[in-house]
Structure 1
Amino acid sequence: MRVEGGSLVMLNVPYVNAKGEVKEGKIISPLLLAGDVTQKPEPHTVHFEGEFPCDAGGKPLQAISACGVPADLHAVAQYYLSTKPDANGYTDYHQKMATYAAIISGHATVLDREASPRKVWQPLDDEESVFNYVENASGRAGIDKLTALLAGDCVAIIGLGGTGSYVLDFVAKTPVREIRLIDGDDFLQHNAFRAPGAPTAEQLREVPKKVDHFRSIYANMHRGIAAHAVALDASTVGLLTGVTFAFLCMDAGHGKRIAIDQLESLGVPFVDVGMGLELSNGTLGGILRTSLSTPDCRDIARSTISFDEPDRDGIYSSNIQVADLNAMNAVMAVMRWKRYRNFYRDFEGEFHSSFTTDVNMLLNGEPK
């Protein structure tokens, strides 16, 4: 037995196939956890990896076959099995796994007395995981293999303002091997009202750096978060070395140009976000923008990203941001990354999209 990807896996389970041969398969159950403590098993079903288990005569065990199984569940294992002891279900995982093992392996024992599902517990080394506790959400949803597509990324988030902090919130819940936070600004009171979480007044009085504030929160879950309390410029651009994907959540200007030039030279794909809101006639309106840049297509993003220095002293300048729109801009960016990594289907393949708040409209730019 071992824990893999948020699921409890019983290895080397003897079973009989349709040819009457004794084989070994796996019983896989999603885990319901509270920290490192298992709860009452839900659901009562399991997946089985191998050929469909049969009785000693090679007849399929239809009594434990789950009917109407969605095709996408086969991404976890070939078969979906169901047996429930009573209306209350299983009391614990020992009872659940032992029950399925006995049903499946009992027929194998008829043909081979040495066949037994009883093995030695082999816990995974905690250091193999980027999380401080088991990520069991993917296993419960049956998307372990999709989630694993994100595991190889080293993600940089440049700018930890409203949108960047929400990007971190979403990315920290994925198994990326490293998250680099790059922002030299302090975390002040107005930041608290457009970022995830709720700092105390005492925390605000300490005037922490944004990267340190957010790392202290998300390091509770993800082990691979590195905080760099610096502005990205010519002297710090080396922080992008080794990055495999980046989110640019920073103001327009020279720093953004440096970041993009470096990412392009390193062959790193990235998503740039932008928000333009205005107060007119007593209401807010505007546009949220998401631009994807990849090694195969740089020109579309370049044409949509502004590099002009913001006129912070201009009498008409403003930087209106609202938490829900920051979160939405982050959602657009993170979903574009996940589509690029084939976690989500991507029929459009667009490199630019915009959401207009006034008419609640999401538009994709032309694909390459």
Structure 2
Amino acid sequence: MPVEPDSAVAENGATSPFVYPDTDSTRAGIEAVSRRLAGGTIAIIGLGGTGSVVLDLISKTPADRILLIDGDRAEQHNAFRWPGAMAIEDIAAKLFKVEYFANIYGRMHTGIEPHAVHLATNTIGLLEEADFVFVCVDSIAARAFIIPALEQRDLPFIDCGLGLSLIDDRLMGLIRVTTSTPTMRTHVHVKDRIPLTGNADDELYRSNIQVADLNMLAGTLAVIQYKQLRGFYVDTEAEYHAIYSTDGNAIINADRA
């Protein structure tokens, strides 16, 4: 985890990562609480529907740097899962996803760094500069490489998963948010919390991309968990694994630290 800044330094005008002041925290009177999110480098792996929401929320925190890691280019179908409204000119430009988002969120946060690559043995070194990682990929093969690499570096991370199934011509959605930190990791493997083997990538999810609401909820739950870890939100249960189901709007929490 990024080290919390010394309060005196923060109060005496440490350099802000924002292009313009965070008047929302000031207006709400929560500047001291917000400073618990200051500093450090956050990496977001995967800038699809969920990763883009994580970026939207993390860009509004005073993290020093936000590393965007994704080797894909922005396409028209992405616009229907991403926050905001993508301009047709941006679609035609065929920018890398990380370039597009760096342009958008760089208007607000100065520390956003795009890396138009997929993580592999020759690019995994990007994570050496990270203090916390959000894993927002939809490939088991990618996770099978990324998760062990994060564990080897003893990095805290949150992995987001989303699945859909078609039942009686209607969709049932499940969202999974799994946390792993140096304090607690065994649940990931002992209880198979993160899929790392097999070929069970959800084909329905991959083909039916009109699930922006579930992407948004997955990203939001992940960032809330991150803020709990940083002491921004009260967290008396300290759950490291949560499943949300659209059927009944139920959230099941497990694996408490």
TM-score calculated relative to the size of structure 2: 0.89
Mapped to 2, the partners of 1:256 and 1:183 lie a distance apart of 14
Task: Decide which of 161, 165, 168 is 2:48's aligned counterpart.
Answer: 161
Equivalent residue for 1:190, pick from 77, 94, 98: 77
**Corresponding position: 1:308 with 2:197:** yes
Q: Which has the higher helix share?
A: 2
Q: What's the % identity of the aligned pairs?
A: 42
Give the equivalent residue in structure 2 for 1:317: 203
| Distance across 2 between alignment mates of 1:300 and 1:252 | 20
Larger radius of gyration: 1
Does the 8 Å CA contact 1:252/1:309 hold for their aligned counterparts? no
- What is the correspondence of 1:261-280 to structure 2 with a 5 Å cutoff? 261-280=148-167
Residue 360 in 1 paired to residue 246 in 2?
no
C-alpha distance after superposition, 1:57-85 (max 9, x if no partner): xxxxxxxxxxxxxxxxxxx9xxxxxxxxx
Q: How far apart in 1 are the matches of 2:129 and 2:122?
A: 17
Q: Which amino acid aligns with 2:69?
A: I
Aligned residues of 2:173 and 2:214 also touching (Cα < 8 A)? no
Give the drift of 1:299.
1.5
Distance 1:333 1:293 in 2: 12
Report the secondary structure of 2:226's partner residue: helix
2:91 is matched with 204
Q: Distance in 2 between matches of 1:356 and 1:253?
A: 21
Residue number in structure 2 paired with 1:291 = 178
Structure 2 unaligned runs (5+)?
Answer: 1-10
The alpha-carbon deviation at position 202 of structure 1 amounts to 1.6
Unaligned runs of 5+ in 1: 1-75, 77-121
Whether the aligned pair in 2 keeps the contact of 1:234 and 1:258 (CA below 8 Å) is no
**Equivalent residue number for residue 231 of structure 2:** 342
Residue 233 of structure 1, CA deviation: 1.1
Residues of 1 paired with 2:51 and 2:107: CA distance?
Answer: 18
Matches within 5 A, 1:65-80: none
For 1:121-136, list aligned pairs within 5 A. 128-136=15-23
Q: Deviations over 1:78-114 (max 9, x none)?
A: xxxxxxxxxxxxxxxxxxxxxxxxxxxxxxxxxxxxx
**Distance in 2 separating the partners of 1:141 and 1:277:** 38
Deviations 1:302-358 (A, max 9, x none): 32101236467xxx9322441111000001000000001110001111110010101
- 3-state SS of paired residue (1:359): coil
1:156, 1:247 within 8 Å by CA — same for their partners in 2?
yes
Q: Which structure is higher in RCO with an 8 Å CA cutoff and minimum separation 6?
A: 2
Query: 1:282, 1:299 → 2: CA distance?
Result: 38
**1:252 to 1:292, Cα distance in 2 relative to 1, 3 A:** same
For residues 327 and 283 of structure 1, the distance between their equivalents in structure 2, rounded to whole angstroms, comes to 20
On the 8 A contact 2:19/2:110 being kept in 1, the answer is yes
SS at match of 2:177: strand
Query: Could you list the per-position Cα deviations for residues 32-76 of structure 1 after superposition, in whole angstroms to 9, with x for gaps in the alignment?
Result: xxxxxxxxxxxxxxxxxxxxxxxxxxxxxxxxxxxxxxxxxxxx9
Aligned 8 A contact 1:192 1:199 in 2: yes
SS in 1 for 2:20: coil
User: What is the one-letter code of the residue matched to 1:351?
Assistant: Y
Task: Give 1:155 shift.
Answer: 0.4
What pairs up with 1:97-112 in 2 under 5 angstroms? none
Residues 229-244 of structure 1 mapped to structure 2, 5 A cutoff = 229-244=116-131
Distance in 2 (CA, whole Å) between partners of 1:309 and 1:151 is 39
Could you say what secondary structure the match of 1:346 adopts?
Answer: coil
The residue type paired with residue 237 of structure 2 is: E
RMSD between aligned residues = 1.9
The SS at the match of 1:271 is strand
| Contact 1:301/1:351 (<8 A) preserved | no
What one-letter code is carried by the residue in structure 1 that aligns with 2:142? G
| Deviation (angstroms), 1:252 | 3.0
Distance in 2 (CA, whole Å) between partners of 1:270 and 1:244 is 9
CA distance in 2, matches of 1:311, 1:206: 33
